[in-house]
Amino acid sequence: MAQSPTRAADRVDETRLWQRHMAMARLGARADGGVNRQALSDEDIAARRQLIGWAAARGFTCAVDPIGNLFVRRAGRERDLPPVLTGSHLDSQPSGGKFDGTYGVLAGLEVLEALEDARVTTRRPIEAVAWTNEEGSRFQPGAMGSAAFVGRVQLVALRDTVDRAGIRLGDALDATLAATPGLARRALGFPVAAYIESHIEQGPLLEADGKVIGAVTGIQGSRWFAVEVTGEEAHAGTTPLKIRKDALKAAMAMVAALEALMADATDVVRFTVGRFDVSPNSPNTVPGRVFFTIDFRHPDPAVLQRLGDQVPALCAAHARGCAVSVTPTFDAPPTHFTQGIVASISAAAARLGLPHRDIFSGAFHDAKFLAEVAPTGMIFVPCARGISHNPAESAKASDLAAGARVLAEVLAELAEQ
Ligand code: HGY
Ligand code: MN
Ligand code: MN
């Protein structure tokens, strides 16, 4: 009897998917169980090499573009059609977890393997992609690879960005590309039929609701600023306060004023000062320089504009005789995903008997930029207590596999269109 055509979703292998997460987690492993695999680092290179190795073992071809976006391709029946893309990122926060970003890349690879195992062909090629520098921790801004892919930022302007050790992004990128030789090289950006990204929710809603799948409807807006306060180093014992240009005291006043500006009794505004560098950082020298970052987010573009536009003047108003520069480093308006794609994700979850709900993303993702050039959607799965950007980040193997099954259904459908 002819074997009934299996669905790729039926061939998603929970153990293979989980073991690959554990293998990736060893690349940049922290002693506390988390991951430190920052963009374009040796650890990132190791992760890229691991992905390339798994892809090659299955006969998938790999390609890379000038900003290091890494593509794993499964051919379609009509090879020249624009591919359906899926993926996320392999870079992590300095004290990140095993699943943020990695899940989306490995779920994409898992679906390519499941399609092979099910002997399912697709009209269009399907590619799993690892976007460069989604986190924006080492080099600002975030989602750099996907933003460059859609032409939102120019690579040439990014190459001179430096990390805290003074290493240029261009040099780290060249070293990364040189460390993965032999890959087909692509131009930056090409036509994409559709893009689906799988990701842990990084929040508590799915777990609290007892849902396994989130059909993501959109992403809130983000505005980042880099603030540099320049005062005058002076002796802590001999310098009267009234003649000091104390960069730390000024920066503290700025942050206090920003906190008052961003105060929101409904707790919708997200305001974070994540980096605060003081120099010379000596107990008995008045700080001459402070660098700090602002990460401000909101779902309403009017609020993003109204509050965000006040940031530079508010910092200047609390300069206390210091020089202040406020540089916008990221400005991404809210994103709303394609209705049809969101519906396909919900329908696939329903077909597979998985409890699901619509959900809006508080975190940004590469899908934010892909949505500018192609029908785009995201699949969320729960993570324990919503914890992320934290070594304690964790997820269940069964939930990861469930998300990959929904991904398989949706990709197979899109790749036949
Ligand atoms: O910051 C973000 O929202 C993303 O997790 N990098
Ligand atoms: Mn992420
Ligand atoms: Mn992240």
Q: Are residues 272 and 325 in the same domain?
A: yes
Residue 360 lies in a domain: yes
Q: Are residues 115 and 207 in the same domain?
A: yes
In one-letter notation, the amino acid at residue 25 is A
Residue nearest atom 6 in ligand 1 by C-alpha distance: 135
Q: Are residues 326 and 385 in the same domain?
A: no
Q: Are residues 24 and 72 in the same domain?
A: yes
End-to-end CA distance of the chain: 30
Distance 100 CA to ligand 2 centre (A): 5
| Strand partners for 234 | 286
Residue 1 lies in a domain: no
Q: Which one of the ligands is nearest to 94 CA? A: 3
Distance 220 CA to ligand 2 centre (A): 14
**What distance in Å separates the CA atoms of residue 269 and residue 19, rounded to the nearest whole number?**
38
- Determine how many CB atoms are found less than 10 A away from the CB of residue 267: 7
Q: Are residues 43 and 171 in the same domain?
A: yes
Between CA 87 and CA 98, with CA 92 as vertex, the angle to 5 degrees is 80
Which among 92, 201, 335, 389 is the best mutation to test ligand 1's pocket, defined by most ligand atoms within 8 Å of the CB? 389
Assess whether pLDDT exceeds 60 at residue 131.
yes
User: Confidence class of residue 5 from pLDDT cuts 50, 70 and 90?
Assistant: low
User: Confidence class of residue 6 from pLDDT cuts 50, 70 and 90?
Assistant: confident
Range of the domain at 168: 6-219+335-414
For the segment 248-264, the average pLDDT, to the nearest whole number, is 98
Between CA 204 and CA 215, with CA 209 as vertex, the angle to 5 degrees is 80
| pTM for the predicted model, two decimal places | 0.97
Atom number in ligand 1 closest to CA 93: 6
| Percent residues over pLDDT 70 in the chain | 99
Distance 134 CA to ligand 1 centre (A): 7
Structural domain tally of the chain?
2
Residue 18 lies in a domain: yes
Q: Which of 332, 354, 387 is the last residue of a domain?
A: 332
pLDDT given at position 31: 98
Q: Are residues 245 and 299 in the same domain?
A: yes
Q: Per-residue pLDDT tens for 63-77? A: 999 999 999 999 999
Distance 347 CA to ligand 1 centre (A): 27
For the segment 38-42, the average pLDDT, to the nearest whole number, is 98
Q: Per-residue pLDDT tens for 259-310? A: 999 999 999 999 999 999 999 999 999 999 999 999 999 999 999 999 999 9
**Whether the CB of 366 sits within 6 Å of ligand 1:** no
Mean pLDDT of the chain: 97
Q: Which one of the ligands is nearest to 105 CA? A: 2
Q: Which of 332, 359, 387 is the last residue of a domain?
A: 332
Q: Per-residue pLDDT tens for 320-375? A: 999 999 999 999 999 999 999 999 999 999 999 999 999 999 999 999 999 999 99
Q: Which one of the ligands is nearest to 97 CA? A: 3
